Amino acid sequence: MRMPVFSRTKRWLALLGCVLLSSILLSACGDEASTSILNTAGPVAADEKVLFYVVVILAAVIFLGVEGWLVYSIFRFRERPNTPTPYQNHGNLFLEALWTGIPTVVLFILLFFTIRGLLQVAPEAQPKDANTVSVVAVGHQWWWEFYYPKYNITTADELVIPAHTTIHVDLFSNNVIHSFWVPNLTGKTDLIPGHDNTKWFIADKNGTYTGLCAEFCGTQHGNMRFDVKAVNTDSFQSWISTQQQTAAAPGDSLAQQGQAIFKNQCSTCHGIVGVDVTQFYNPQQFCNDSLGPGHNYPTTDVHCLIGPNLTHFGSRGLIAGGVLTNNSQACNPTDPNIMKDCHLAQWLNDPQGIKPGNDMNIGQLTTGQIRQLVAYLEGLK
Ligand code: CUA
């Protein structure tokens, strides 16, 4: 006996279910698509995308086939009054062979594409490119340091690379496991203390790509972002020569006072070449914890800085692992609303409130001191 009201309710529930499901599916569309693995900007990510599609399409075909057959059978062969016992096919050799054979073929197809993908992105597959740029990427809790051995420079939160050039990355951590991931350019590779992985990638297009830490590494794991800026070769070379210079001298008396505060309160953890350190240091060499048990992070080696090297801080786009952007245009040191407008001022005022648990334990600065530090640090282009 049919109950029309109940049936209408079920129809509405089904409709509601479809709306909810489609909202989940469609939520992947929109602005966030720019950091999607499907929006590739280089050969490594493109090869990985092929494997992704192979798996998704195979899984979708199997899902629709099995579920379709199941739903069809439920309705077509449902029990009706006076139905005789159906035909029993237990032990049918043909059927047994068929449903052993189909999954075997499917798994071999997946195996083929998986091995092909592994070989395409393996360190051994790195193209022989005379212009290859090598970078040491260091995972800290919670920010990224990038050291360029050939040019002897260090940056933080921002990896500047030439486009159309092979980038070789040595992945180093002396604390916990992190994972280097730039969805548009390359998949994830872990940074494991005591086991230095390598990877390579190429950016085919100029642009800024979001990088992430993809392995839970503590409370601020989500605030361990970086930007990969792919620029043309000329811009890259001029960026390198700027970064190789020692820090700019303070431009005015406000900045001079800021430099004095830096020397006094910040230089235990941060370095500025030409101020408290004489050069950039290779973290892989100086922050190595393979010295044995008991030699814990942060290492006591003075060449291994706890915080980012700030020599060219004013040229960078992010602060503290991307928890804030470095909106330098809003950082006029004499701005009466500096605490509202300038992210660096906010950061200096309350680093533990903005990013709880990070290593920056500076005493409370006065607004005057913050203005002086902002004048100095934003001037370090
Ligand atoms: Cu580093 Cu998550």
**Higher per-residue confidence, 33 vs 217:** 217
For tokens 């992070």, what's the residue? Answer: 297
Q: Is 171 in the pocket of ligand 1 (CB under 6 A)?
A: no
Contact 143, 174 (CB under 8 A): no
Q: Which residues contact 301 (CB under 8 A, 6 or more apart)?
A: 286, 287
Average pLDDT of 176-192?
Answer: 96
For ligand 1, atom 1, the nearest C-alpha belongs to: 178
Q: Is 215 in the pocket of ligand 1 (CB under 6 A)?
A: yes
So what's the pLDDT on residue 303? 79
Domains defined for the chain, CATH in brackets = 30-125 (1.10.287.90), 253-377 (1.10.760.10)
Give per-residue burial for 137-175: e unless 16+ CB within 10 Å, then b. bbbbbbbbbbbbeebebbbbbbbbbbbebbbbbbbbbbb
Q: β-pairing, 158-162 with 226-231?
A: parallel
In what helix (H) or strand (E) does residue 349 lie, and over which residues does it extend? helix 343-349
Percent share of the chain, pLDDT over 90:
73
What confidence tens digit (pLDDT) does each residue in 300-329 have? Answer: 567 788 899 999 999 999 999 999 999 999
d(CA 116, CA 127): 16
**Higher per-residue confidence, 136 vs 286:** 136
So what's the pLDDT on residue 286? 79
Which atom of ligand 1 is least distant from the CA of 214? Answer: 2
d(CA 300, CA 95): 68
Q: Is 224 in the pocket of ligand 1 (CB under 6 A)?
A: yes
**Higher per-residue confidence, 60 vs 16:** 60
Which atom of ligand 1 is least distant from the CA of 139? Answer: 1
What confidence tens digit (pLDDT) does each residue in 52-95 have? Answer: 999 999 999 999 999 999 999 999 988 888 888 888 888 899 99
Q: Is 225 in the pocket of ligand 1 (CB under 6 A)?
A: no
Which atom of ligand 1 is least distant from the CA of 217? Answer: 2
Which atom of ligand 1 is least distant from the CA of 176? Answer: 1
